[in-house]
Amino acid sequence: MRTINAEYVLSKSEIRILRQLSKGKCSLSEIEKALSLKPALLSQNLKKLLKKGLIQTTGQGNRKFAYFNDTKHALLLRDLLITYDHIDWQNILTGRTLEILFQALTPEVHHANVSTATLWRHLKNLKARGIITQTGKEYKITPGFSILIEFLKEYQRFFAQKLAKALSEGAVILWQEDMEFLIRAPKNAKPPTKDFHKTATSKFQEYDLPLFSESDSYFYSKNKKQIQPEDVILHTLLIEPKNTRYTTYALLLLKKTEKQLDKNYLLQEAQTHGLKDQVNSMLQFLKTHTQQTDQALPTWNEFASKARDYNVVIA
């Protein structure tokens, strides 16, 4: 996660409330007494937890109760708090430490949004608790904390789905890494924020490659300001990485824009998306006209025929 989404940051007060609820359903008065919280502060934190899909509230007579939701990420968090009751989660599942834990889910990806000093300070604390292991510059969550790993993944999926539904009820997430994801949505979808970027085959017309579809593809990212041709190529592959049809479309755009492409950026982003081998094979394919059997590539004759259809010069 390159930039932590403020909407799902957990506070120390929220974690304390969740720890209390991990013992079972509680009335609000019981929570106030156990945690020495004022009603207004408790109400504020409960609203945040409701938005995060972690709790539910119900009323019985004059009393109001709170309890863990039955969403997958909520149940995983409850299990985490119960199983590792000795861990001070209020100092771990919050702020920068939570961000670093998300980043540890993809240790092979370089994350640049945390300063080195901040990173090492938090890693030291996480390693002291046995949560993180480190080899060289690579760090990851200890396998013994598998519940934590699953919770973090499900927590990201929950918010990705929530954001996708804000675009359209008919939106489908095709690929996700951290809090960046590729979505297929109906043509009439209206992006709710500037963080939704039209991409993949939906951008091909801008490169004089008219592909028509009943849906549009969007890439959600809080970091990208615009979608470059390299991104369009990669996002097209991400729709179905092993599908020769989408590889052929990506090859057409790769050939069409090859003189303006930044190959270093293309390969760097391909590495991030798990597509580096496929992109290297595509570059080699355009150079040698030879298929690699382990990649979803068309034959050269098939590609040449499709290139003629779209007026892409390949000679």
Average pLDDT, the chain: 91
Structure-model confidence comparison of residues 2 and 6, the more confident one: 6
Nearest CA to 97 among 138, 132, 50? 132
Contact 15, 94 (CB under 8 A): yes
Q: What CA–CA distance (Å, rounded) separates 88 from 15?
A: 10
At residue 10, the 3 state secondary structure works out as coil
Contact 100, 129 (CB under 8 A): no
Exposure string of 55-67, with b = 16+ CB inside 10 Å and e = fewer, is bbeeeeeeeebbb
Q: What CA–CA distance (Å, rounded) separates 160 from 145?
A: 23
Model confidence over 104-131: pLDDT tens digits?
A: 887 655 555 667 888 888 899 999 999 9
The model's pTM: 0.84
CATH topology of domain 6-146: Arc Repressor Mutant, subunit A (1.10.10)
Q: What CA–CA distance (Å, rounded) separates 118 from 86?
A: 25
Model confidence over 249-268: pLDDT tens digits?
A: 999 999 999 999 999 999 99
Instruction: Write down the pLDDT at residue 111.
Output: 53
> CA angle, corner 107, sides to 102 and 109, nearest 5?
95
Check whether 86 has a pLDDT greater than 90.
Answer: yes
Q: What CA–CA distance (Å, rounded) separates 82 from 84?
A: 6
Domain boundaries, the chain: 6-146, 170-309
At residue 252, the 3 state secondary structure works out as helix
Give the model's confidence band at 1: pLDDT under 50 very low, under 70 low, under 90 confident, else very high: very low
Model confidence over 184-236: pLDDT tens digits?
A: 999 989 999 999 999 999 999 999 998 888 899 999 998 888 999 999 999 99
CA atoms within 13 A on the CB side of 219: 26
